[in-house]
Amino acid sequence: MRITKVAPAARTAGRYNIFVDGHYSFSLDEFQLVQHSLHSGQEIDEAKLAELQAESDFGKNYIRAVDLISRRLRSEREIRDYAGRKQWSRDNTERVIARLYDRGYLNDSVFARAFVRSRRSARKYSRRRIERDLVNKGISHRIIQQVLDEGAGMADDDALANLVAKKYHRYDDINKLKAYLARAGFRYDDINRAIEQYHEQQNTS
């Protein structure tokens, strides 16, 4: 087999389409192209072709993973789940994840801290709800406890009191408010106490 053409990809800057025996076969980025010293007229065998096609898949999948992370931080579990949905090979997945860690794009501790800040400040979730959500994101128990113990965000009592004050008048049915607060991860005893305290504050103001 022979590489018959190396041409810049029309739709993706920095990638090159490789044609083998007159037909498109795969694409590589500029670094990969130089790394493998590919050029038109070069003879390759089946083993080399398979290696280059695997390298092409790795390059494309790495860019997809970086694009995902550029939209918002991701945990390692989320990247693995995405890879599974897209049916990446195991070797390809491990290479992409290793590269993401090496380049600093993937870090479960950084992800967990950002997640806690977001859920505390924007959604006022309880510690219990945040812990449960982080477990679902694949974050280790050690990292979860470390991040939560750092005191990122406010205490549960403060978060619950603020949420009751913010949401109380939006619900005609108090039970719907309680259900909303329970979904945010707060315990029913704490919810009832916070609502009673809110009533007392309103009556004395």
The whole-number average pLDDT for the span 38-56 is 94
Asked, for residue 52, whether it belongs to a domain, the answer is: no
Question: What is the domain-level CATH number for residue 83?
Answer: 1.10.10
Q: pLDDT tier at 12 (50, 70, 90 boundaries)?
A: confident
Average pLDDT over residues 105-131: 84
Structure tokens that stand for 189 in this block:
């005893």
**Structural domain contains residue 49:** no
Closest CA to 36 of 13, 22, 54: 54
Answer whether residue 195 shows pLDDT above 50. yes
Indicate if the alpha-carbon torsion angle 16, 18, 23, 26 is positive or negative.
negative
The range of the structural domain enclosing residue 201 comes to 156-205
pLDDT above 90: residue 159 = no
pLDDT over 70 (residue 153) = no
Q: Using one digit for the tens of pLDDT, what is the confidence trace for 14-24?
A: 899 999 999 99
- Work out how many domains the chain is built from and give that number: 4
User: Using one digit for the tens of pLDDT, what is the confidence trace for 120-134?
Assistant: 766 667 788 889 999
- Is 50 a member of any domain? no
The position carrying tokens 């403060």 is 158
CB atoms within 10 A of CB 186: 25
| pLDDT for res 144 | 93
In a domain, 66, yes or no: yes
Most confident range (mean pLDDT) of 61-65, 127-131, 173-177 is 61-65
At residue 135, the pLDDT reads 96
**In this structure, what CATH number is given to the domain that contains residue 25?**
1.10.10.10
Residue 86 pLDDT class (50, 70, 90 cuts): very high
